[in-house]
A and B are shown apart, each in its own frame.
With several copies, the nearest count.
Chain A
Amino acid sequence: MIRKLLVANRGEIAVRVIRAARELGIQTVGVFSEADRDALFVRYADQSVCIGPPPLSDSYLFYQNILAAAQSTGADAIHPGYGFLAENASFAEACRALDLTFIGPAPQAIRKMGDKATAKRLMKEAGVPTVPGSEGVLGSLAEARTLAAEIGYPVVIKATAGGGGRGMRIVGDGGELENAFHAAVNEAQQAFGDSGVYLEKFIQDPKHIEIQVLGDKHGQVVHLFERDCSIQRRYQKLLEEAPSPVLTEATRAAMGEIAVTAARSVRYDSAGTIEFIYDGRSRQFFFIEMNTRIQVEHPVTEMITGVDLLQWQIRVAAGERLPLRQEEIVRRGHAIECRINAEDPQKGFLPQTGTLSQYIVPGGPGVRVDSGVYPGYAIPPFYDSLLAKLVVWGETRKDAVLRLQRALDEFIIEGVATTIPFHQRIVRHPEFHRGAYTTDFIRRITAEEVANAC
């Protein structure tokens, strides 16, 4: 087993890793940049080492000082958290070369899943559904027609050189195809000087739904159900929940099985996530990518399954077998997480720095707070804006939503603007209550607000 774990990260995830390690009886080493000397994770680590100046490239991304810190403190394992070095196969290999256990999957799995094209090809081979479409540039209208009939309408035609919606046409049925094809080709030629277009299935009412998986070094892989992460602002998740309010039990089971198949196909031996895009109309789902790390939103899965994902991730990295079989993993109730960022929703979510002159976290039943800050802490201007994750559990989704409203109302942060008021709006929005919200929810409600202000 691991005796001493170096945490190569900062903020709330460094605190989370320290918590898991302590509960496993493992000593912890924190590493910090000069800007993080007063951070909570430094206070909570058994031991800590300054590894460089504030810039990421000179501290949290600088292998040499991190590995030297591990060696000189006698650490025998490194947890990379998320971001930073978490999905860096070379770093994982460097750890191996120094006999340090890297808490993550084998480097080959990181490499295979790290390249989108490779990942998509491998998944197709493994029988995992990906968004259907032309392999490359469409040769002709006839080819488009054959393919569209095969995939099923609606489809979308896009310029291969394109972006920003130019050279793009959504095609609702076969009658629209000819006009749309020619219009897209002409527009692509005009806009990009390249008339190449491709065709793929158009996803209606899209949702971002991901499956948590966990594998060990003995070939076992299980899934721990899904998370619905469709509430995003510019691809940044703001709120995640489990279970997804729209999945049928049949779809949930199918997604879980497919995710396990996907993970098995790369001999996945750690905690990871298979991301799918889900079509709210057809109820089909398609592989998008795999994240070969623990994720920010892992607590919602922990709340409904009672499983400590961080502890399992560490234990399987140390060579232990998964303690539970698939059928022993049960879920209960509903969990929702809000990411409380130091950002001003009134000013385009501008990141804020400042000192937390007051910081009162919510408590009571069904409330979990994973925070990297504390009262009086000065937020350094060098890193990301995540202050805390507020996670609630309730027996039903309605219970969880009411609890989340109450907990958000209790969360008092003074000294910097935060996303709390924005989350308060989300959780009181009728569309959120219905649960069928799609990935453009935040964009739409932000637009509503602008429209209402005019």
Chain B
Amino acid sequence: MKGKNMDVQKLLEWLKKYDLTELTIKDGGYQVTLKREGQPAAFPHQSLPGIDEAVAAADGTCEPVASAAEPEDAPDKPELHEVKAPLVGTFYRAPAPDAAPFIEEGDRVEVNDKLCIVEAMKIMNEIESPVRGIVREICARNGATVEFGQVLFRIEEPS
């Protein structure tokens, strides 16, 4: 394997870019194992030989195309928890067209409070808050398509 084609630096970048928590590469027999947020995914056909072993962990973020202009980790802001879309679908802020939104910016939320609905395949998927805190930003428009990994909310956790 050529060092310039796939070095450890590169692997670390991929780890970070795709939120991988674990990556194992072996040369003999060409095995690759990737783990991501607890879900194992094996690629038996993929071969990346040349590095005897590389195990690393990183915690990166996924930034969707649609929100490229949004500020991220601005120095004057406290650390915000990003709630991302776990599936592709249509984003709804309220349980029904004529109902009030689940939350507004500035609202306090507890863990498992409902934040929104992402409709996919005629199924209304309720998205719950994974943290306790104050909703600082609602990042998607009501009725808009959200893609996988898109940031939907930014929540300020109590420090």
Contacts and interface: CB of A to CB of B under 8 A. Distances in A.
B18 A69 contact: no
B88 A65 contact: yes
Given A350-B1, A353-B5, A354-B4, A69 B145 contact: yes
Question: Contact size class for A?
Answer: 35 or more
Interface centre among A34, A352, A380 (most CB of B within 10 A): A34
A53 B19 contact: yes
A98 B47 CA distance: 37
A379 to B, nearest CB: 9
Interface string A312-355: 00000000000000000000000000000000100100111110
Interface string A54-91: 11011100001111110111000000000000000000
Contact of B2 (A37, A55, A417): A417
A65 B148 contact: yes
A34 B17 contact: yes
Contacts of A347: 1
A256 interface: no
B48 interface: yes
Contacts of A52: 148-149
A50 interface: yes
Contact of B147 (A50, A71, A416, A417): A50
A199 B74 CA distance: 74
A69 B88 contact: yes
A51 interface: yes
Nearest to B40: A55
A350 B49 contact: yes
B48 A381 contact: yes
A72 B6 contact: no
Interface centre among A48, A58, A69, A415 (most CB of B within 10 A): A69
Contact of A64 (B36, B62, B120, B145): B120
B24 to A, nearest CB: 13
A354 B120 contact: no
Question: Contact size class for B?
Answer: 35 or more
Contacts of B150: 50
B121 A68 contact: yes
Interface in B67-111: 87-90
A354 B41 contact: no
Given A50-B64, A65-B87, A34 B145 contact: no
Nearest to A97: B121
Interface string A29-44: 0000011010000000
Contacts of B49: 350
Contacts of A51: 88, 147-148
Contacts of A353: 5-6, 10, 48
B46 interface: yes
B139 to A, nearest CB: 15
A331 to B, nearest CB: 36
Contact of B149 (A34, A351, A382): A34
A49 B148 CA distance: 8
Interface string B1-40: 1101110001000100111000000000000101010010
Given A65-B148, A351-B46, A354-B4, A58 B121 contact: no
B145 A72 contact: yes
Contacts of A380: 14
B142 to A, nearest CB: 13
A48 B17 CA distance: 19
